[in-house]
Amino acid sequence: MPPRATPSPSPRRPRRADAERSVAAILDAALEGLAGDPDVSMAEIARRAGVSRATTYVHFPTREALVTAVTERAIADVAAILATADPAAGDAADALRRVLRAAWRELDRFHALVAINARLPREEFHRLHVPVLTHLAPLIARGQQEGAFRADVPVAWHLSMLLAIVHAASGELRAGRVAADDVEGVMVATVLGAVGAHATA
């Protein structure tokens, strides 16, 4: 009697690829849904993603987990843009202006997330923004050493202030209190004025 053939193991790679595609679709759908409705339901996100609600919950057990994942991906995208803007090159003030403009243009897709994450506890808010702060902290420190930025406050304070101004600009834009054509320039000027070596307390 010939030996029974050993069944081939089920391929796992397609399942992983399918899962990755599902996750990407869910994250895209969540971002799109949140842009129109900050309280969009998991069921609506699943519908937009073209997956079942059960599949959505397999990858993201809670709505909060999904929003966090969307935020982490958005911040990673902004951090990547900051890196391509080369914050280590040139005069510190010019570099800060350059990276702020690049980040703001990338942030244009994520204003709804900015509003949602404004409600987070401070520690969680900071944790989520570490990828962005990692690029900005050396630039602020360099500006202080060069005398371009005021050195009488810690780097961490400059970073907190910078995030607050960017988030405030996003909120003002969403509320319609600052025109879309003006908000980038207003935001950049405010940040540069605040970090400037000769800014008043």
- 88 located within any domain: yes
Residue 10: predicted pLDDT = 47
Residue that finishes a domain, picked among 26, 61, 96: 61
Structure tokens at 137: 């902290």
CA distance 133 to 126: 9
Give the total number of structural domains in the chain.
2
pLDDT for 5 beyond 90: no
Domain co-membership, 57 together with 127 = no
Give pTM, 2 decimals. 0.81
pLDDT band at 200 (very low <50, low <70, confident <90, very high): very low
- DSSP H helices in the chain: 13-36, 42-49, 53-59, 63-84, 92-107, 111-117, 122-128, 130-146, 155-175, 180-195
Residue 199, pLDDT score: 46
Q: Which domain holds residue 27?
A: 14-61
Let me know if 172 is exposed, middle or buried by CB neighbors in 10 A (0-12, 13-18, 19+): middle
Contacts of 193 (CB under 8 A, 6+ apart): 199
